[in-house]
Amino acid sequence: MVSKAFIEHPLYVPQPGWTEQKPDDWWASTCEAIRGVLNGFRRQSIVSIGLTGQMHGSVFLGSKNEVLRPCILWNDQRTAKQCERINRLVGRKKLIELTSNPAFTGFTAPKILWLRENEPAVYAKTRKILLPKDYIRFMLTGDYATDVSDASGTLLLNVRRRKWSEEILSALDISMDILPNIYESPELVGEVSKEASDVTGLKPGIPVVAGAGDQASGGIGAGIVKPGLVSATIGTSGVVFAFCDDIRIDPKGRVHTFCHGVPGKWHIMSVMLSAGGSFRWLRDALGQTETQMEKLTGQDAYSYMDAEATTVDPGCEGLIFLPYLNGERTPHGDPYARGVFFGLSLRHSKPHLIRAVLEGITYGMRDGLEIIHEMGVNISKIRISGGGAKSALWRQIQADVYKKRLEMINIDEGPAFGAALLAGTGVGVYRNIVEACEKTIKVVDQIEPIQKNSIIYDKFYEIYHNLYPALKKSFKEDEKIVSSLR
């Protein structure tokens, strides 16, 4: 890493369960970040550019390439009815056969149907639909393009054949003309335009590769490009990511099978919607003291919460947390699921709540690992990253719950680093992506599971695993009542 920059942009929540951002905010932030990065070295040294970004978001462009409305994001839950309709139109079994995935609320296709049904005037003006990173590419190069990994999350791609599914598009009455062309992730797609050069400071003509969605790019940035390697990343969401030489599909649709950023390969992925987001919720709801301490000392509020959680034994004396604060994607695919503290008693205190949240998130990650293992994927090594890898306590909880040795690597900017490796591969800096990873990514630490803790966690994980089925019906009934009171 030579230079980096980080710029925030707003999140909009126009209704409960809705999440949106403005593509213009992304572009303004991108330009500012690029200018900041260029302060670190000579722009003439840049030989190519890679792209990555949040998946599934829908950017609707008009005839003059104007953005017609804010982008509907990956964790938006408004499309439950559209998902049910897609399952009826295509058939759930056929849908999984063609796209390797069931209909999830976060995916792109149900958002297109939602727009057509709820904002028909906007839909009528729509001439192109782009994913978030691909809108940035358009602004950089003027090209409409996407890559196979990001396209896998639209529910419009035949993941096995790595091309748009004519059968799905026909069933949903969506024109292929509205979609961008598809490329493998390291393929060269365009170059920086004069207009983009003027606002970013980049030299015009720099090649731009197709890039990859954040999870595939993060997998590359963590070196998950060979069989047996799995990553477990706890950020706002929680992702278990496994490499596959050949395509493997869960017939129950509990996890995703997507095209990898490695040409001709695939990955299996489980995604929790509120992993680190649950910990942030706890900080905001109950961590006023820790937040005040952060202001006084400069030490992160989460580190104070970690310290409190270390005073509690594994298993939290029977307190279990379900981290479904904004519905859940995998393995349940349920927009109505909600968070639960189970087993709360007079013995429990704030430190118990903190540790229960960390453990509950980790149980949810184990759900994904168990399904991937069930699908016959070898899991020999687990590499951890994200906020869940910064805490010594949480690292140990993960090792104990997963019952595996964990690896930490020298890279902490996974998706952006993966995009850079794709860019280098596209112009021949590396012969292929595997070589790129081998030359740049090193294991720097390992965490061994503590057997006595694993035995305890196995018992509580069994209870955790049985709670969702017991509560599923009640979650939906609760949401009906809440909706009727709005």
Query: Known catalytic residues?
Result: 214
Token output for 67: 């953005």
Taking the CA atoms of residue 319, residue 322, residue 323 and residue 328 in that order, the dihedral angle to the nearest 10 degrees is: 170
- DSSP 8-state assignment for residue 180: P
* Nearest partner of 433 among 248, 314, 192, 267, judged by Cα: 267
* Nearest partner of 267 among 229, 211, 221, 210, judged by Cα: 229
Token output for 73: 């994001």
Cis bond upstream, residue 120 (ω within 30)? no
Token output for 381: 């090594």
Rounded Cα distance between 158 and 282, Å, is: 40
The answer for residues whose C-beta is within 8 angstroms of residue 272's C-beta and 6 or more apart is: 237, 238, 239, 323, 328, 329, 330, 361, 364, 365, 368
Query: CB of 33 within 8 A of CB of 53?
Result: no
SS3 449: coil
Taking the CA atoms of residue 124, residue 126, residue 131 and residue 137 in that order, the dihedral angle to the nearest 10 degrees is: 180
Q: How far is CA 432 from CA 80, 421, 476, in A?
A: 40, 9, 48
